[in-house]
A and B are shown apart, each in its own frame.
Chain A
Amino acid sequence: MLSQKRRNLNIVTGDSEISSKIVVENISHQYHIKKSKAEKKKEFTALKEVSLKVKKGEFIAIVGPSGCGKSTLLDILAGLINAKCGKIFIDGKLAHGPALDRGIVMQGYALFPWRTIRKNVEFGLEIKGIPKKERAELSRSFIELVGLKGFEERYPHELSGGMKQRIAIARALAYDPDVLLMDEPFAAVDAQTREVLQDELLRIWEKTNKTIVFVTHSIDEAVFLADRVAVMTSNPGTIKEIIKIKLPRPRRNADMRQSADFNWIRHKVWQSLQNTVTTINEERESGLTYKDLAEEISPSVVL
């Protein structure tokens, strides 16, 4: 029914803009920081003039050095922070505040310690007003999906970090948002589980046509999962470059990792990131202001 509505909307406006699920328009955000009580409040620019369009059903990954504002951007997308400047459109409509159409898996696991694993997964479903029986079914299937069957009645403190992370993912998947915002969701799991979860996420994504914004520190992961990879720089946080990942789909870990194309693109993203890191260092040393380094990546170096 929801997709029906969206289709209608498309027809009505006839605007190509509408096929963008998310439009980020000139977002800037400053945090107030207080170093000590005596000192006056200072402003720190976490994001500066970030613009981004994400198509419906697209998988976009965001990479960038630590502290470049990835989590901040995701919080803004989720409606948890109001950006100081700029606008967010979801389905062509100005978004303000959080809503069930966007689900976020946060960097800390943010599980409710007083709820069992099952009840944690059911939280969003409760808010949605889904009846108890259906809730139990959904939570069971998603807990099984992330490989934690049998842990339903445990409490979060009895689980390892990676297990908690998987529950946080199950919780976000369970209430079935159109847009899934994921902040380093696989950071705390071992390499093997990580690959299983990546494959599983792609499978769910292919099946459900969700729009996914995925923050990660791993270039491999970004390239493997995404349609496009946004590379961010810090101080202030901006999107420096967006790299298209033209690898065939469906992708699976087993056969993708060895492909030459995969490695070539991975190297390209790495190069781009490398430049952002050196930019920061140069800036610090010489006191230069930000300059666009995207042009400096020469294809010959990449090759």
Chain B
Amino acid sequence: MLLNLFKKLLGHTYSLLAVAIFLLIWEFIPKLGLADTTFLPPFSKVAAALWKLTVTGVLFKHLIISLQRAVLGFGLGLLISIPLGLLIGWFKGVERFVDPLLQTFRQTSALALFPVFILLFGIGEVSKVAIIFWSVQWPILLNTISGVKSVEPLLIKSARSMGASSFTLLLKVIVPGAFPSIFTGIRLSATYSILILIAAEMIGSNAGLGFLLYESEIKFEIPEMYAAIVTMSLLGLAVNYLLVAVGGRLTRWKEEIPNT
């Protein structure tokens, strides 16, 4: 058992090696004078700034605000896009009807629409939640639709032969069958929502990680600026890991493709 633990540790160390090398390079390029320390401070300075932001609680305050917005927009997206996607995927007529609209809207950049949202909803919370909702919605919706359509017809037939009502069919066959695809959509959009959020917060806001980044740049607090960027990356990473773990648990029934 101890050996196993050791092996695991070794494995993790190995995968962290690349990160360590990257950080070392970051540290020494400015120190060796290969880059201007004002614009690219060494990693130790950024880490110190990150530490300071953490202990003073500033970082936490912005992080919470950003997370609130993300969760709200994201939750709204799930609540609306999954049922909508099931509907569109299941009823062929509906899909034919809305498809051109969907294809056009998904190509419309969320950021391009941000001014529109500000005009409509003002510069407050609503417009930020709205833009996250908008951008999260497409990957979930489209993946739900394709998930529903990819459910094995034989399984639908089999369930119907056992007298399943339309509702049972939806609940016990369509949703679980489409789930892997739906979840891919959720994962895509989760990472996406953070990116969009940051951008939105940089444009018009007085709190949040995006604002922190923007403010540090304006005030020329370069290490803080990098600290904000690092925090965002870590946040994205954490969200992705969380979703992968959740998804892995929920799709345990899937056949694993053997690695070659």
Binding site for B on A (CB under 8 A): 75, 78-80, 98-100, 102-104, 106, 108, 110, 112-116, 123-124, 126-128, 155-157, 175
Contacts and interface: CB of A to CB of B under 8 A. Distances in A.
B173 interface: yes
Contact of A98 (B161, B176, B252): B161
Given A106-B154, A110-B154, A112-B173, A100 B160 contact: no
Nearest to B251: A114
Contact of B176 (A104, A112, A128): A112
Given A108-B154, A157-B253, A175 B162 contact: yes
B159 A123 contact: yes
B155 interface: yes
A214 B152 CA distance: 24
A127 B163 contact: yes
B163 A99 contact: yes
A103 B173 contact: no
Contact of A78 (B152, B161, B168, B177): B161
A114 B164 contact: no
Contact of A112 (B155, B163, B254): B155
Contacts of B253: 113-116, 155-157
Given A112-B176, A114-B177, A155-B253, A127 B164 contact: yes
A83 B93 CA distance: 23
B157 A106 contact: yes
5 contacts: A110-B155, A112-B158, A112-B173, A126-B172, A127-B162
B158 A106 contact: yes
Contacts of A156: 253
B161 A104 contact: yes
Nearest to A107: B154
B184 to A, nearest CB: 15
A78 B176 CA distance: 24
Interface in B140-192: 152, 154-155, 157-164, 168, 172-173, 176-177, 179
Nearest to B168: A127
Interface of B: 152, 154-155, 157-164, 168, 172-173, 176-177, 179, 251-255
A108 B161 CA distance: 14
Contacts of A98: 160-163
A75 to B, nearest CB: 8
B161 A103 contact: yes
A301 B168 CA distance: 55
7 closest A-B pairs by beta carbon, nearest first, are A110-B158, A157-B255, A124-B162, A100-B163, A114-B176, A114-B253, A155-B253
Q: Which of B157, B163, B253 has the most CB of A within 10 A?
A: B163
Given A124-B163, A127-B168, 5 more contacts: A103-B161, A112-B159, A113-B255, A123-B159, A127-B162
A225 B231 CA distance: 71
Contacts of B173: 112
A175 B164 CA distance: 13
Contacts of B177: 112, 114
Contacts of B168: 127
A100 B168 CA distance: 14
Contacts of A103: 161-162
A80 B161 contact: yes
A260 B162 CA distance: 41
Nearest to B169: A127
A115 B152 CA distance: 14
Contacts of B163: 98-100, 124, 127-128
A103 B253 CA distance: 26
A124 B155 CA distance: 13
Contacts of A113: 253-255
Contacts of B159: 112, 123
A110 B155 CA distance: 5
Nearest to A81: B157
A108 B160 CA distance: 15
Nearest to B163: A100
A80 B164 contact: no
Contacts of A115: 176, 253
Nearest to B175: A114
A166 to B, nearest CB: 16
B86 to A, nearest CB: 16
A106 B157 CA distance: 9
B97 to A, nearest CB: 21
Contact of A80 (B160, B172, B251, B252): B160
B253 to A, nearest CB: 4
Given A98-B163, A100-B163, A123-B162, A80 B157 contact: yes
A112 B162 CA distance: 13
A160 to B, nearest CB: 13
A38 to B, nearest CB: 20
A108 to B, nearest CB: 5
A110 B154 CA distance: 6
Contacts of B176: 112, 114-115
Contacts of B162: 98, 100, 103, 123-124, 127, 175
